[in-house]
Structure 1
Amino acid sequence: MSSELSLNINIKEPRWDQGTFMGRAQHFFMVTDPRNVLLSSETLEEARVIVENYRAGVVKPGLTEDELWRAKYVYDSAFHPDTGEKMFVIGRMSAQVPMNMTITGCMLTFYRTTPAVVFWQWVNQSFNAVVNYTNRSGDAPMTLNQLGAAYVSATSGAVVTALGLKSLAKRLPPIVSRFVPFAAVAAANCINIPFMRQRELKYGIPVMDENGNRLGESANAAKQAIAQVVVSRIGMAVPAMAIPPVIMNALEKRAFLKVNSLQMNVLTFSSCAPISSLVFATPLCCALFPQKSSMSVSGLEADLQEQIRQTSPQTTTVYFNKGL
């Protein structure tokens, strides 16, 4: 019976306390679960209907609380939190682990030649551009011209950075060249994310009071949100790209691993996945900062501060979706 399930469950917020790291980690383990990317359109649509109906006060007969939360996390894994639109499949956070394992393995394996560096950095930054756009904060659309300009700027800047680091590494010890992919990815994240979210930096992102009432748009909030996302993304790359180079450099010195380049490439690629632990790195790094980020009203633009003082004088802290 519909009355069996309370209508007081707040599914607008995560199931676990987002004020603690462990609570955020539990939340993101659900959101980034790679199995979610395999769900059918019918399953996603069913979850959407359950969630939207529950928010409207309509409960599916026989629905349990666990089933409701499961539907909520299936919904969150595929639909944008601000626009409600279904996200492009490879841009979803549930696609991060399988996509990053493949791309990272290739970047660590094929790092010696310039064409390989250019190709795999382009592939990686194209993927990142899709993820950054898909998981942007706010609900304002980007035009095709804006999106195209952002994509070209982000990917070309990242590739140029990778080539510059590769050139510099030639003068340094061999092990340093193994860190070029990680350094390039870290630097590229600092370029790619702001470029793909440049509209937020220019026009701001929605900020709300504690009850979810929209108070305006803030570019200062966008700067904080994007900085937090950059830190999280760099952190995700550490297990996959900063640890394997040290291990592989040590193994290559052993006589039993002095094999032809093809065998070495296969070994490097196959060792990347278990060492990287991307299944854990992705949700744990997403959990570094709350998804519903906050800042003091005094940190906002002067005109927005004045607007909030007039319309909501009791508000001292504003909240916003930082994106992923």
Structure 2
Amino acid sequence: MNIPVSLFLKKLETGFLLWADVLDPLLLLKSADEIRRTRLFIENSAKTLSEPIKNDQTKQAFLLSLSSVHPDTGKIIPVVFRPPAFLPMCLPLVIVSSLQSQVKKNFLCQFAFHMYTTGFALLNGNGTTKAEEYLVEQKQIFYGLGAVSYAACIGALPLIFMNRYKLKSPLTQLVVQKLLPAPLISLMSAFTVVVVRSPEFENGIEVMDKNGTVIGVSQKAGQKAVKETALSRAVLFGTTSFVPPVLMHFVERAKFRRTPQSLASMRMLAIMTVLVGMLPVSLSMFPQCGEIKREDLEPELLSSTEETELFYNRGI
């Protein structure tokens, strides 16, 4: 396991402000050669660094590595699946999905949305599952496609139901168009994360002590990593789907002049504002360098260390 980045997270202030910096889209413009040089610099610094990062140059190098390099494999993540690309890629898909009232278009928009978020979860998950690598990748891709198709069908189900039975009452439209989308997209976002990262809790992931020494492979750590990531994804898209319709409900009831075009613009602005604010919040809900108590590990791992806390890469 390449430990510098995953353990280096313990040496930097974590939280909302950190992820706000990591999500800077300008980091996507850095070349692969610059990222590799930064990675080497980080690895050399990690060998001697014992205090939190204070040097600005070191901090900027770390942010570039965190935003571009997988902490387990050390490989450069494809541009469109790096954390800074998550917002630019998801925002138009979320907006278009929320505006589509036709079943086929709504299904296709949701399929594209879940396809991207599932690919993001796959490429940014833990990379230390202990099984035949080719078989794991094949299984994840197969399960991922099934999960994406299922999630898109469930997302379009309210519109299918409303159109099939010609339910046009104001109450039905309120439930289908404003109340149901939030819990459905929240559950399906968590579902796709769990499915595509299932090898992590089936085969286990590596856990380390504070010095970066790998203690063993733990299924319980894998379960914890996947559970926390799925919960953060559910909170992100559940909030993004719930808050804008509530705000628009009050706007539509307000007594001032408005046009369909202005309402659509305000709806898009509300979605963008909530998603921009919630993305670093969801990423900072749980630390990327996860911690697990020694007593929570499998019995066979307890004899391998006397450390009370062990660490693993949660993924994002």
Decide whether the 8 Å contact of 2:200 with 2:226 is kept in 1. Answer: no
Partner of 2:268: 269
Q: Deviations over 1:215-235 (max 9, x none)?
A: 111121111111111121122
Shift of 1:15: 4.8
AA partner of residue 268 (structure 1) = R
2 CA distance for matches of 1:52 and 1:298? 31
Shift of 1:86: 0.5
Partner of 2:313: 321
Q: Which of 289, 300, 304 is the matching residue for 1:306?
A: 300
Q: Is 1:160–2:153 an aligned residue pair?
A: yes
Question: How is 1:236-275 mapped onto 2 (pairs within 5 angstroms)?
Answer: 236-253=236-253, 256-259=257-260, 265-273=264-272, 275=273
Partner of 1:174: 173
Decide whether the 8 Å contact of 2:191 with 2:230 is kept in 1. Answer: no
2 CA distance for matches of 1:35 and 1:230? 27
TM-score by length of 1: 0.80
2 CA distance for matches of 1:78 and 1:192? 23
Shift of 1:255: 6.7
SS in 1 for 2:145: helix
2 CA distance for matches of 1:267 and 1:283? 23
SS in 2 for 1:256: coil
Decide whether the 8 Å contact of 1:34 with 1:96 is kept in 2. Answer: no
2 CA distance for matches of 1:152 and 1:279? 27
Decide whether the 8 Å contact of 2:7 with 2:212 is kept in 1. Answer: no
Partner of 1:39: 30
Shift of 1:125: 0.5
Question: How is 1:193-272 mapped onto 2 (pairs within 5 angstroms)?
Answer: 193-253=193-253, 256-259=257-260, 265-272=264-271
Q: Which of 79, 95, 99 is the matching residue for 2:85?
A: 95
Question: How is 1:20-39 mapped onto 2 (pairs within 5 angstroms)?
Answer: 23-39=14-30
Decide whether the 8 Å contact of 1:186 with 1:234 is kept in 2. Answer: yes
Q: Which of 258, 281, 285 is the matching residue for 1:284?
A: 281
- The alignment covers a number of residue pairs equal to 294
Question: What is the identity percentage for the equivalent residue pairs of Structure 1 and Structure 2?
Answer: 21
SS in 2 for 1:13: helix
Q: Deviations over 1:178-198 (max 9, x none)?
A: 244322321112210011101
Residues 1:288 and 1:215: Cα distance change in structure 2 (over 3 Å) = same
Superposed CA RMSD in Å reads 2.7
More divergent stretch after superposition (116-125 vs 284-293) = 284-293
SS in 1 for 2:89: helix
Shift of 1:271: 4.3
Shift of 1:118: 0.5
Residues 1:296 and 1:165: Cα distance change in structure 2 (over 3 Å) = farther
TM-score by length of 2: 0.82
Shift of 1:71: 0.8
